Structure 1
Amino acid sequence: MTSAQRAVNPRDLRRAYAASLSGTALEYYDFAAYSVAAATLFGDLFFPSGDPLVGTMSAFSTYAVGYLARPLGGFVFGRLGDVIGRKKVLVYTLLLAGIATFLIGLLPTHASIGGTAAVLLVILRFAQGVAVGGEWGGAVLLSSEYGDPRKRGFWASAAQIGPPAGTLLANGVLALLAGLMSEETFTSGGWRIAFLLSAVLVLFGLWIRLRLEDTPVFKQIVDRRERPSAPVSEVVGAERRALIAGILVRVCPDVLYSLFTVFTLTYITQELGMSRGEGTIAVMIGSACQVLLMPAFGALSDRINRRRLYLYGTIAAAVWPFVFFPMIGGGSFAVLIIGTVVALAIHASMYGPQAALITEQFSPRLRYTGSSLAYTLAGVIGGAPAPLIMTALIAWLDNWWILGVYLALTAVVTGVGLWLSRDPVVESEVEESVVPA
């Protein structure tokens, strides 16, 4: 059997799916644990101020640092992924994210070492962002390049399940710790346990990834001696439209996700007088639903036009804030849960097919670089500034409707990205003979 006819062992296919899901779940556990802590704890612990709004904005500033670091991760690890392979790079990103998160759990607060605490927190947050920037593109390719190209939406969704699974796990751990401890014990140090647990998750993720070979598609690229020498330059020069499309289609989902999993926690406590625990539970339930909805929408996008399905989700995202905020105005916990679940279901309708939509814009030999750059650069204009912009808008106008306008504008941006994108080319020259055994 020639390399061009190499078959995929079903066991390896399952391992690839598990490796993709578990790795991104771990890295988004790290990211989500920080996001929740930034919204509820870190303002007082690392950025003390007499004004709660200033403290929150300072904490969200380091949240943005995690997004701003992602392009560096996409640039460095994306390039390496197309040159040395998907598997090796994914081991490096997993280690970097896990170590950074573990160290956050050991970090002294402002009360102990003053402003140095904030500086160290920003550095570790930056390292988290670099790791996530290199993780996503490789995780998507790990599962999708093992799977049938005609079912790319489903197989690529393995990496998309990671964020809600990680968010669910992080919120669950933090909620459990908060429930088992007094408020004073939790804020004084109990929260650290959630970050220290990342060491266990890293070991599990490494165990899965180290047992797996590189993807059949990358092996064929190596056999044909088609590995790029300057993948970043090639993507920017030869596949610029694909890169722009990949960036823009991510903007609305990123802002939608930030609104309903990060900023809403602050909004309901400061504007509606609801508890932090109620917001956390609502996000957990919505994330649990997403774990099922991500692969479902990914599979659906294999049956109907992927771009059209994505467009429907984008339109729904633009409309939902104008329904959600009046719904929760009465402070009902049950209504908050329903509204959050619907919001995250809308997000899943875009995020589930997103991995396949972005990766299929690029040729196989440039996929890691192109996908990683699109993913990370989108975060800079979408997810990174979103909590800061939302906090500033509320402080300026003190009315929820401005948040709906902001999200609607990002939906227009994503619509432009969909217009620039192309429908999938399922049978590429490299992939056409890579089929399950």
Structure 2
Amino acid sequence: MSTTAADTGNSEALERDARVVHSTHHDVRPGEIAIGVIIGRTTEFFDFFVFAIASVLVFPAFVFPYLDPVEGTLASFALFSLAFFGRPLGTFLFTYIDQNHGRGVKLTIALFLLGGSTMAIALLPSHAQVGAASAWLLGLFRLLQGVALGGAWDGLPSLLALTASKEKRGWYSMIPQIGAPLGLALACALFAYFLALLETADFLRWGWRYPFFVALALNVVALFARLRIVATPEFKRLFDNRELQPSPPFETLFAEWRVILLGAFAPLASFALFHLVAVFPLSYNQLFTTESPVRFLIFEGIGALVCVVAILLSGVLADKVGRRAVLGVSAALIGTFCFAPIMLSFGQFGEALYLLLGFVLLGLSFGQAAGAVNSSFQQKYRYTGAAIVSNSAWFIGAGFAPFVALWLTANLGLWSVGLYLLSGVICTLGALAINREWGQRDQGTSDEPVIAD
């Protein structure tokens, strides 16, 4: 069954309701698409960071009390990584749903699975209540989060890039990335609030659950914001005209494996830095210092807002000098940042400086990191290929970063974390050097690039 037929036959009522509630006109404007993209990505990353923060502050004592704090946090980070195994599974499963039942049905199922899995974590029983089943349940819910994230690819970033004028391509490329620091800032604010408000015992018993409940409400808002765009005839027309239709995942994988492999390695410097700035420092603060987690979360939330500004700057720079140049220079700058993790051992000033510099570099690189080689895909494979590249890049570059960084710190010291980051820089520079065709297309232009999330 074709996607168009599926859209009409299976998700017509759902999409009609979204149009009635949210539409005041029939045009799909880049500004509206951008709002849908930002809301969707902020929600997804909020779910993501709520789990990451709980992996440091809650799960070691709640799920793994029989382990020492470092081992318990490592075990939590291992479960954290399960979502990155689930994302490719979600891409394959929900591509089938997209092809046979329409984008509206696919997106609705994926977002409710994401919100439901996150809410289920909020109801998680402790190890004291159910023993080892607590860890198994947490792992299952985390895997389902990843499956949902893999299925939540809605094509809005791709549509946003294709409706943007050539001279604004860098600006619109960075818009989907804003959701990451916004989601982090919101997650930090909620956890800091409950940590400051409650005694430690109350926080570990019930206070930590509230940020997970918030995720369900945000997912409902995100669902209608995105269906508002997906449901319009103009959205479907633009997708049809641009040949942005889902292709069979295995066919895409076998036909475009070289581009997928290259695309997975191109953003590794940015994706590795992502977790080494947003997740790992909190674990270091909690395990190796006596500083308050509330203060650190406030610093991190401020750093996330600085990252938003840096992402906006990356869009301006990319339109002036080119996305390839911004990615290459920012990767080289991240290479110089490889010596920075040692600053975390220098007290509050060192932590603040590490977060500030790290978030500035992250914003400049992450703002243009998505879809770096997607213009190399054949048109019929771009929609599904972009999702596979995104999932692969997150899996290789970010999925295990918190675990690896903490293990290296505990066994070798902070200096070794820089070597891990350096490996990502080498991969990024190598992938950009190999992908000469993208550099040519970015300048002028036989083809238009498509962004992954």
Identity fraction in percent: 28
Q: Does 2:51 correspond to 1:34?
A: yes
**CA distances 1:269-319 after superposition (whole Å, capped 9, x unpaired):** 322332222321221111111222223312321221211211111111122
Cα deviation for residue 222 of structure 1 reads 3.2
The code of the aligned residue for 1:253 comes to S
Shift of 1:340: 0.4
User: How high is the TM-score relative to the length of structure 2?
Assistant: 0.84
Give the whole-Å Cα distance in 2 for the aligned partners of 1:420 and 1:215.
Answer: 39
Mapped partners of 1:90, 1:300: distance in 2: 33
| Residue in structure 2 matching 1:163, options 180, 192, 209 | 180
Letter in 2 for 1:306: R
Distance change (3 Å), C-alpha of 1:252 and 1:81: farther
CA displacement 1:199-229 (0-9 Å, x = unmatched): 2212211221222246968525536988565
C-alpha separation in 1, matches of 2:423 and 2:179: 27
Larger RCO, structure (CA 8 Å, separation 6 or more): 1
Query: Aligned runs of 1:368-387 on 2, under 5 Å?
Result: 368-387=383-402
Structure 1 distance, partners of 2:286, 2:198, is: 20
Q: 1:350 aligns with which of 365, 375, 378?
A: 365
Q: Which amino acid aligns with 2:173?
A: A
Which of 390, 400, 419 is the aligned partner of 2:433?
A: 419
Structure 2 vs 1, CA of residues 75 and 304 (structure 1 numbering), >3 Å: closer, same or farther? farther
2:419 is matched with 405
Instruction: For residue 358 of structure 1, report the CA deviation from its aligned partner.
Output: 4.3
Equivalents in 2 of 1:134, 1:302: separation in Å? 31
Q: Which residue of 2 aligns with 1:337?
A: 352
Tell me the distance in 1 between the aligned counterparts of 2:373 and 2:98. 16
Q: Do the aligned partners of 1:313 and 1:350 also contact (CA within 8 Å) in 2?
A: yes
Is residue 181 from structure 1 mapped to residue 194 from structure 2 by the alignment? no
Quote the residue 1:314 is aligned against: 331
Once residues 242 and 82 of structure 1 are traced to their aligned partners in structure 2, the CA distance between those partners, rounded to angstroms, is 23
Name the amino acid aligned to 1:388: F
RMSD of aligned Cα (Å): 2.7
* Structure 1 residue 105: Cα displacement: 1.0
For normalisation by structure 1, the TM-score amounts to 0.87
Q: Decide whether aligned partners of structure 1 residues 248 and 82 sit closer, same or farther in structure 2, where only a CA change above 3 A counts.
A: farther
How far has the Cα of 1:86 moved from its partner? Answer: 5.7
Unaligned runs of 5+ in 1: 1-7, 432-437
Judged with a 3 Å threshold, the aligned counterparts in structure 2 of structure 1 residues 79 and 115 are, in CA distance, closer, same or farther, namely same
Report the AA paired with residue 258 of structure 1.
H
- State yes or no: 1:135 paired with 2:148: no
Verify: 1:233 aligned to 2:251, yes or no.
Answer: yes
Structure 2 residue identity aligned to 1:369: T
Residue 66 of structure 2 is aligned to residue 49 of structure 1? yes
> Are positions 1:64 and 2:81 aligned together?
yes
Note the residue ranges of structure 2 that are not aligned, 5 or more in a row: 1-24
Contact 1:153–1:355, Cα closer than 8 Å, also in 2:
no
Q: Which moved more, 1:251-260 or 1:71-80?
A: 71-80
Q: State the number of aligned residues.
A: 420
Deviation at 1:193, TM superposition (A): 0.5
Q: 1:264-283, aligned counterparts within 5 Å?
A: 264-283=281-300
2:164 aligned residue: 147
> CA 1:256/1:176 → structure 2, altered by over 3 Å: closer, same or farther?
same
Q: Does structure 1 conserve the Cα–Cα contact (< 8 Å) formed by 2:159 and 2:238? A: no
Quick one: which amino acid aligns to residue 35 of structure 1? A
Q: 2:269 aligns with which of 249, 252, 255?
A: 252
**For 2:111 and 2:242, how far apart are their aligned partners in 1?**
29
Q: Secondary structure at the match of 2:347?
A: coil
